[in-house]
Structure 1
Amino acid sequence: MARRQRTQKVPVALPSMESAPEQWLRNIRLSGFTFVMLGLIILAVIVLAPSLRLVIEQQQQLAELTTAVEQQKEAVADLESNVDRWSDPAYIEAQARDRLKYVFPGDFTYSVKGDGSELTTTDGAPISTEIQTTEVDWVHTVVSSLFTAGLTDDTAAELESPQVPVP
């Protein structure tokens, strides 16, 4: 009988059909320690989540109360300045004149009644409450005035405006 020849097995690298993430996942070895640690992390999140929520709510309340305290401090400062003003006799006198219409003996006061809507100009036209644009180019007027004043040979009396009386 003929002896059979022994064949040796030689490892051959085959082209991989798996992607990199699949190879990475295949190489992960999970042990008991890994499961215990994951369980502890999940337990810690479950136990600490309500406490963290409470801390965040308290921080928000603290911020709101701090702004309220600052507003109250500003209000107190305003009231203190108001008290200081009322300690001044001139301020008290002005308030009595304005609010209560008090006058000193011998003084005359005039009260204007109405809202002023019936007021008119000197020629009888009603006074407008709207902003009106001018029809004069003021830049041109200013520049021409400068050139006129700088380049004229007239005297100051000759340059006076006819609307302003010369003393």
Structure 2
Amino acid sequence: MTQRLTPGGQGPARRPGQRSRAAPPRGGRPVSRGAEAKESADTGRSANRPAAARRAPVRRTNAPQPRRFTGRATVLLVVLIALALGYTYPVRVYLTQQSDIARMEQAQEEQRQRISELSEQAALWQDEKYIEIQARKRFYMVRPGEVPLVVLTDPEGAARDAGVPPDAGKSQPADPWYDTMWSSIQAADSTETRK
């Protein structure tokens, strides 16, 4: 198995869980076991202790809390707000135009109905019988030899022509309730004073 060098090139790097083997010193001289123990004693480690005990105590640190809004999220939010503001005016114009179109279509439909009604009336005026009926009805015209009969709906004019006073058929409006009540109180009072 090949040994890996550390990034600085200081020597072989250890993999986790791998026991360290004594590497030959750079000078090429072999190192005895005692020298190795002495060297480890200088560094404050004992070669006789298990690897778990030789490890330095691990400091636990809390992971940094992520920010609520990262830079990308902020830029995205600003872009979305700009797009929303940019589209509000065209959408408002579009909706206004749609309502104008609907109103104009409704007005056009009403005009079509009015035109069809007037066309039907114009077609009626082409008929001779219809013209005769309208002349009798509107202008009280009659054929030669016919006697016209006109019904008057003016009761006052008819009463005047008959020689009857116009107010004879009408009844007088009733007095208000409070006048009636007051007159009955006065009548009761006058009968008491007579006794």
- The TM-score by the shorter chain falls in which range? 0.5 to 0.7
1:114 and 2:153 aligned: yes
State the superposition RMSD in angstroms. Answer: 3.2
1:75 and 2:111 aligned: no
TM-aligned CA deviation for residue 47 of structure 1: 1.4
Q: How many residue pairs align between the two structures?
A: 106
How far apart, CA to CA, are the structure 1 residues paired with 2:103 and 2:87? 25
1:46 and 2:85 aligned: yes
The normalised TM-score by structure 2 is 0.45
How far apart, CA to CA, are the structure 1 residues paired with 2:79 and 2:58? 50
Alignment of 1:26-37 (within 5 A): 29-37=68-76
What amino acid is aligned across from residue 43 of structure 1 in structure 2? A
2:98 aligned partner: 59
Structure 1 unmatched runs, 5+: 12-25, 120-125, 127-167
Alignment of 1:64-143 (within 5 A): 64-116=103-155
Structure 2 unmatched runs, 5+: 1-43, 45-52, 159-168, 170-195
Secondary structure of the residue aligned to 1:104 is: coil
TM-aligned CA deviation for residue 28 of structure 1: 6.0
The normalised TM-score by structure 1 is 0.52
How far apart, CA to CA, are the structure 1 residues paired with 2:82 and 2:60? 50
Structure 1 residues 36 and 8: alpha-carbon distance in aligned structure 2, compared to 1, 3 A threshold: closer
Give 1 or 2 for the bigger CA radius of gyration: 2
What amino acid is aligned across from residue 125 of structure 2 in structure 1? W
How far apart, CA to CA, are the structure 2 residues paired with 1:90 and 1:41? 74
TM-aligned CA deviation for residue 103 of structure 1: 0.8
1:112-143 CA-partner distances (Å, limit 9, x unpaired): 22335899xxxxxx8xxxxxxxxxxxxxxxxx
How far apart, CA to CA, are the structure 2 residues paired with 1:57 and 1:79? 33
How far apart, CA to CA, are the structure 2 residues paired with 1:71 and 1:46? 39
How far apart, CA to CA, are the structure 1 residues paired with 2:71 and 2:59? 36
Secondary structure of the residue aligned to 1:52 is: helix
TM-aligned CA deviation for residue 49 of structure 1: 1.1
